[in-house]
Chains A and B, each alone.
Chain A
Amino acid sequence: SDVLTQPPSVSVSPGQTARISCSGDALTKQYGHWYQQRPGQAPILVIYKDNARPSGIPERFSGSSSGSVIMLTISGVQAEDEADYYCQSADTTGTFVLFGGGTRLTAL
Chain B
Amino acid sequence: QEQLVESGGGLVKPGGSLRLSCVASGFIISDYYMSWIRQAPGKGLEWLSYISPSGGFTNHADSVRERFTISRDSAKNSLFLEMRSLRAEDTALYYCARGRRDDYKPNDYWGQGTLVTVS
Contact = CB atoms under 8 A, between A and B. Distances in A.
Say whether A and B bind each other: yes
Interface of A: 33, 35, 37, 41-45, 48-49, 54, 84, 86, 88-90, 95-102
A97 B111 contact: no
A37 to B, nearest CB: 8
Nearest to B62: A96
A49 to B, nearest CB: 8
Residue among A42, A44, A45, A100 with most chain B CB within 10 A: A42
Contacts, number: 53
Contacts of B113: 42
Secondary structure type dominating chain A contacts: strand
Interface residues of B, number: 19
A3 to B, nearest CB: 12
Nearest to A102: B44
B102 interface: no
B58 to A, nearest CB: 12
19 contacts: A33-B106, A35-B45, A35-B107, A42-B110, A43-B110, A48-B108, A54-B108, A88-B107, A90-B105, A95-B59, A96-B59, A97-B35, A97-B104, A97-B105, A99-B44, A99-B46, A99-B47, A100-B44, A102-B45
Interface of B: 35, 37, 44-47, 50, 59, 61, 95, 104-108, 110-113
Given A96-B59, A96-B61, A97-B50, A45 B44 contact: no
Nearest to B93: A42
Nearest to B60: A96
A41 B47 CA distance: 17
Nearest to A32: B106
A54 B108 CA distance: 9
Contacts of B50: 97
A35 B105 CA distance: 12
